Amino acid sequence: LTQRRTARTLQDYLHWQLNLTPFNDTDRAIATAIVEGVNEDGYLAASMESIIESTGDPEIDAEEAEAVLHRIQQFDPPGVAARDPRECLVIQLQQYPEEHPQLAYAIQLVRDHFELLAQQDHNQIKRQLKIDDDTLKAVSLLIRSLSPRPGTLVSELEPHIRNFSKRTQGRRIAFTRYV
């Protein structure tokens, strides 16, 4: 969290984590290209093909690039480097302990019935998942606790600077405060 607070951008924060993660040279090149392809909302905006091409290594295949992507998707903030909102939310849900009471339903809802979730079709969701109203409320609460734009979690923590001045014993004292 301290590093997240001092990172100027999401890219800086992801590069910091990348530098702490052991990668071989090929995987580091892929990881760097992936991090560079993440937009400010935290989504991977670059295609896997362009990421592979940007490494300049014709030996890299899609399977290897996907494996590196999955490692980057474990970085903080949760859900970063997802390719779409569904994948973003599933990544975040998969970071919960397996024992979480509504986790399986939440993952199933996001992964298999995302359109129903977006439409807030509660009756159809209950039918598809075979759950009651109370369970649906708990599942919905869990999903609403997630961040559909994980990149904003880094920029929102950037300190806001306020300059103050105060007159004390005839002297003006200026100071900066981080809030």
pLDDT in tens, the chain (179 residues): 455 455 689 999 999 999 999 999 999 999 999 999 999 999 999 999 999 999 999 999 999 999 999 999 999 999 999 999 999 999 999 999 999 999 999 999 999 999 999 999 999 999 999 999 999 999 999 999 999 999 998 865 444 444 445 555 656 555 444 43
Element (H, E) at 112: helix 103-112
pLDDT at 160: 43
Contact 21, 41 (CB under 8 A): no
**CA atoms of 128 and 21, how far apart (whole Å):** 40
CA distance 74 to 166: 46
Q: Read off the pTM.
A: 0.81
The residue type at 53:
E
Rg for the chain, CA atoms, rounded: 21
Closest CA to 11 of 27, 32, 35: 35
**Separation in Å, CA 23 to CA 56, 62, 102:** 17, 17, 35
